[in-house]
Structure 1
Amino acid sequence: MKKGICILLSSALLMGTVPVYGDMAEVEQVTHTYRAEVGTKNFYKDDVLQTLDTEIYLKDGYVMLPVRTFFTAVDENAQIIWDREKQLATVWMGEYRILLDVPKNKIQVEYGNVNVSGKLEVKDGRLFVPLRNWQEILTRCNYEMDEDSIVWDSEKGEAIVKVGEYVINREQELAKTEITGEGQKPVYLVEPTEEYDSIQNVGDGYFIVEKRDNVGELEIFDSTGKVLATFAPGTISRIGYLGEDRFYIYKGKEQPQYVVDANGNQLFSVPYDSLRGYNEGLALVREKTENGYRYGYIDTEGNLQIPMQYGSARSFSEGVAPVSMSESGMGQYGFIDTKGNVVIEPKYRSADPFREGLAHVQAISGEGFINHQGEEVVPPQYGFVSDFQNGTAFAVTKDRQIIVIDKNGEEVRKLLELPKETSYFYTPSWDLLEVEYPLGYQGIYRYYDKNGEISRETYELQSRLSEGLSDVLDKETGKYGYADETGNMVISPLFDEAERFSNGYAVVKQMIPNENGTRTVKVGVIKNPLMR
């Protein structure tokens, strides 16, 4: 489900020092009442009957509720993935992941175990969890419950559950992106097959696969489906793509041993402990020293083009690369060209590769941007500033205002003013901002793009976009398809797993159930219909 990890950029959490969010008037708590009638299909939320196609029952003194009904009643956007073979359910409620393991009778929320009361059970093909466990599950997902939140009326055979929820009190609701349409049949490069145990889309039209029958056998094939190279079982342990039609090979050690071309021909050995991908014909390499590490750059033939003389370094972009002249790799960042000449004075605490003609730098005064002449076109004055994408960037001022700026450093718009108790997160590949209000066990979230606040539904869709398409779960079938940024289904939901698109292709999986309760996993590759 989650295909990325947010980067924590600033945190001033004051948990426990203020009451229910103190002076934050826009955050309020509402309480919902859930009622379950044992021996019936009657399950209510605030006296509204919920969809339920199997009876609620008692077992060992516990009220047994179906997982899907309860989760979707609490959060209509909850996503449940059921692994029939392993009898393992994975549930996403916003930012929170819940694992329900029937054989182990185990419940985990995020990375913490829940003390399970009673036993999880699969009945009539549905997963049931004793009601008593919902108190800790929901509390860990930022809902307000205590020991008195669940009341059992033995005379009526009825359970009452009170669940408090934090919500943002807005003047008007945010628009929710809804998934519509049925989509079209996928166009396959590789139809789902049992032949492969895994397929990696590594870019530039190359794929690395591991055979299922011959464990340890690896192949490279291209976007025509042609197998270019085969590595017999036991000959190598790992292979990865470097760019420039070059692949690195591991043979069981902690560092790559040599580099091959797409046909598997060995080109040169790697006498370094780390080798990163090629950018603009040069790859960053690292060697260990007595005091730390040293970095340099090699060409596509393995020749050392720029000596191992930097305390830290990044890849080339727009003809230059950020490097640290400090022996420790901390501070003294400047930029070199592809000949190793210093072109921008090393004076920054940190620096990132150029993007859209500007490079992000950090000085004592804050964060900002320089151009290729080394001019500080956006003076280092912000507590945080994101990369520029499509001409704009997020910036956080010293007085905790989040704004959008242009390449001249001019404010385009103000998004919000951060209270002291909030944290903010930014993920470059999504170009979206997430703000957390620390309430209860964890917090509630607000989401922003460059134009302002967006709904969680819109955020979830946009954060999974790759080459114009986002993998989305169809709640009716439990299968994944792909929708565009407007929510229009483009590729029909036929898959149990669906990866991001890269260079026009995405890896997908189908799980085919067998009569003995096991399943057959088929792996394939589909084409992006938006790219011609």
Structure 2
Amino acid sequence: MKKGFCILLSSAMLMGTVPVYGNDVEQVVHTYRAEVGTKNFYKDDVLQTLDTEIYLKDGYVMLPVRTFFTAVDENAQIIWDREKQVATVWMGQYPIRLDVPQNEIAAASVNINVSGKLEVKEGRLFVPLRNWQEILKRCNYEMDEDSIVWDSEKGEAIVKIGEYVINREQELAKPEITGEGQNPIYLVEPTEAYDFIWNVGDGYFIAENYSDENDQKIFDSTGKVLATFAPGTAHHVGYLGENRFCVYEYEGKERPAYVVDAKGNKLFSADYDQIWSYAEGLALVREKTENGYRYGYIDTEGNLQIPMEYSYAGNFSEGVAPVSISESGMGQYGFIDTKGNMVIEPKYRSADPFREGLAHVQTISGEGFINHQGEEVIPPQYGFVSDFQNGTAFAVTKDKMQFVVLDQNGKEVRKLLEATEGLSYFYTPSWDLLEVEYPLGYHGVYRYYDKNGEFSRENYELRSGFSEGLSAVLDKETGKYGYADEQGNMVIAPVFDYAARFKNGYAVVTQYIPNENDTITHKNGVIKNPVMK
């Protein structure tokens, strides 16, 4: 819940009907009143700070942007580019862009039809009141055609805005980013030479230049270019691990052509529809057949070690890989070893690679886990289970009513949420965080969990970006990205317009350079992680 709504919750509930959704979510409705020709702007009859008059223009009530946004959300962040006369506003995770010269508004990255004209007056940006309905709807506030009422006799506008909020006994802690951070240490200074740079791991990078017919290069962590693929000779280059790179040619569809080493020397042809990264010395490959696809595995020299006899397969992990022997690829999943021997009976609807000694499987009864002996350590009874990380996993009951944390014996170590109705949920393995959505409002209402319990959206945004001790964070005053540590200290100064996650000590970054003709030049570079030795 936003702090502003905490203070006014009691008075809002006295104003009229407040819908309640189970025991977790309620809708709070606030009334805003603007008196034209005065500096009087009220929220629930509480006068808001306003140092310029509200006025009429071409039949539209003109309200100052900063006053209105901060009245709705006291934590709204507003960045004003005086030279370009463009404002960028953050309402939680939703960005709003207000372009005065172009008379354009984009809310939550969606352009909206503008009523009237945006205007700068006495150094302040004004927006016609009629536009606030669509802006706030896009930012998950409840408004309809009757939410704005104009009283011509009194010369005042009444606006009613509803917001879905989570019922909590106390506010969740939010991270505080402090410090300015140090200047970045570059492996590759931001340059126009590359349209894209991929940090593919193991100290390798692939750079691409689209303007030169997909000119591609491989360089290493010293910045040395190891291989160059002449324009037109490769549609795409991907890293497979084991110092192998796959070159894709474009002939009506993208498919692998051959495999090279880091210097671009051809090692073997890749006569398959698809090839995946190496895992435990073997790479999964796929070929198209009349009835679908067949899967097998090759070694680092390109030799087919396990025949193309599976309708679906996954990567090797802990010495085994999940495969399906059904003709359709649906069901009959088991596990093979690196010799191709079936070591766990193919009887599951689906199966994932082993992790921490357990594999996630699905049966008609639900999802659970088996061990390397094929024993059901955690019986398939859940609607969803995540992979195990650090000895625990998320689990959701089939009716979506309980969200819990399990240990490797299937014991419930913590109950995260008990719902009164089915919810949507999202899990990203690389983050090991759970996002739960209440399907309410334009975007829905979200809650965020780690294995210890619920935490704030701001913490979710910070923690979901962590890799190698740093997370890319947006400085809302400048609109630039920097990197902060787990304690909230800014380690690398916010000077980037895009900042990727660190991998093997490096991260790809981008800077946007405005040009005189209103175009933008993208400069891509690579920085080093200063906290890694």
Instruction: Please give the range of the TM-score, normalised by the shorter of the 2 chains.
Output: 0.7 to 0.9
Match of 1:431 in 2: 432
> Which has the higher mean CA deviation after the structures are superposed, 240-249 or 113-122?
113-122
SS at match of 1:132: helix
Aligned ranges 1:308-387 → 2 under 5 Å = 308-387=308-387
Alpha-carbon distance change, 20 to 390 in structure 1, aligned in 2, over 3 angstroms: farther
What letter matches 1:272 in structure 2?
Answer: Y
In the TM superposition, residue 37 of structure 1 has moved relative to its aligned partner by 6.9
**TM-score of the pair, normalised by structure 1:** 0.86
What letter matches 2:395 in structure 1?
Answer: A
In the TM superposition, residue 513 of structure 1 has moved relative to its aligned partner by 3.1
Q: 1:209 aligns with which of 191, 207, 210?
A: 207
What letter matches 2:525 in structure 1?
Answer: G
Inter-partner Cα distance in structure 2 for 1:180 and 1:51: 30
What letter matches 2:404 in structure 1?
Answer: I
Alpha-carbon distance change, 22 to 233 in structure 1, aligned in 2, over 3 angstroms: same
What letter matches 1:498 in structure 2?
Answer: A
Retained in 2: the 8 A contact 1:512–1:519? Answer: yes
In the TM superposition, residue 344 of structure 1 has moved relative to its aligned partner by 1.1
Retained in 2: the 8 A contact 1:85–1:518? Answer: no
The answer to whether structure 1 residue 287 and structure 2 residue 299 are counterparts is no
Alpha-carbon distance change, 233 to 20 in structure 1, aligned in 2, over 3 angstroms: farther
Match of 1:260 in 2: 260
Q: Higher relative CO (CA 8 A, sep ≥ 6), structure 1 or 2?
A: 1
Inter-partner Cα distance in structure 1 for 2:74 and 2:19: 25
Alpha-carbon distance change, 304 to 401 in structure 1, aligned in 2, over 3 angstroms: same
Match of 1:134 in 2: 132
Retained in 1: the 8 A contact 2:18–2:28? Answer: no
In the TM superposition, residue 90 of structure 1 has moved relative to its aligned partner by 7.6
In the TM superposition, residue 266 of structure 1 has moved relative to its aligned partner by 1.4
**TM-score of the pair, normalised by structure 2:** 0.85
In the TM superposition, residue 29 of structure 1 has moved relative to its aligned partner by 2.2
Alpha-carbon distance change, 111 to 224 in structure 1, aligned in 2, over 3 angstroms: closer
Aligned ranges 1:91-106 → 2 under 5 Å = 93-94=91-92
Match of 1:233 in 2: 231
Alpha-carbon distance change, 212 to 272 in structure 1, aligned in 2, over 3 angstroms: closer
CA deviation string 1:370-398 (max 9, x = no partner):
11222221121212111111111111234
CA deviation string 1:277-324 (max 9, x = no partner):
111111111111111111111111211111000010011111111000
> Which has the higher mean CA deviation after the structures are superposed, 225-234 or 143-152?
143-152
Q: 1:148 aligns with which of 146, 156, 169?
A: 146
CA deviation string 1:67-87 (max 9, x = no partner):
676555534555779999999
Inter-partner Cα distance in structure 1 for 2:341 and 2:85: 59
Among the aligned pairs, what percent are the same residue? 79
In the TM superposition, residue 103 of structure 1 has moved relative to its aligned partner by 8.5
> Which has the higher mean CA deviation after the structures are superposed, 69-78 or 323-332?
69-78
Inter-partner Cα distance in structure 1 for 2:467 and 2:460: 14
Inter-partner Cα distance in structure 1 for 2:80 and 2:502: 24
Alpha-carbon distance change, 296 to 70 in structure 1, aligned in 2, over 3 angstroms: farther
Retained in 2: the 8 A contact 1:178–1:457? Answer: no
Match of 1:5 in 2: none
What letter matches 1:512 in structure 2?
Answer: I
In the TM superposition, residue 223 of structure 1 has moved relative to its aligned partner by 0.5
Unaligned runs of 5+ in 2: 1-16
Alpha-carbon distance change, 126 to 495 in structure 1, aligned in 2, over 3 angstroms: farther
Inter-partner Cα distance in structure 1 for 2:83 and 2:311: 50
Inter-partner Cα distance in structure 2 for 1:376 and 1:90: 53
> Which has the higher mean CA deviation after the structures are superposed, 115-124 or 448-457?
115-124
Aligned ranges 1:23-62 → 2 under 5 Å = 24-34=22-32, 47=46, 49=48, 59-62=57-60
In the TM superposition, residue 468 of structure 1 has moved relative to its aligned partner by 2.1
SS at match of 1:458: helix
SS at match of 1:466: coil
The answer to whether structure 1 residue 405 and structure 2 residue 406 are counterparts is yes
Output the aligned Cα RMSD. 3.4
CA deviation string 1:214-244 (max 9, x = no partner):
4532111000000001122222222111111
Match of 1:490 in 2: 491
Retained in 1: the 8 A contact 2:208–2:217? Answer: yes
Retained in 2: the 8 A contact 1:195–1:213? Answer: no
Inter-partner Cα distance in structure 2 for 1:312 and 1:86: 54
Match of 1:176 in 2: 174
Aligned ranges 1:54-93 → 2 under 5 Å = 59-64=57-62, 70-71=68-69, 73-75=71-73, 93=91
Match of 2:277 in 1: 277
Inter-partner Cα distance in structure 2 for 1:376 and 1:161: 58
CA deviation string 1:56-105 (max 9, x = no partner):
77554334556676555534555779999999988664565667788986
Inter-partner Cα distance in structure 2 for 1:448 and 1:239: 37
Retained in 1: the 8 A contact 2:79–2:478? Answer: no
Match of 1:415 in 2: 416
SS at match of 1:446: strand
Retained in 1: the 8 A contact 2:23–2:420? Answer: no
Retained in 1: the 8 A contact 2:475–2:481? Answer: yes
Retained in 2: the 8 A contact 1:434–1:448? Answer: yes
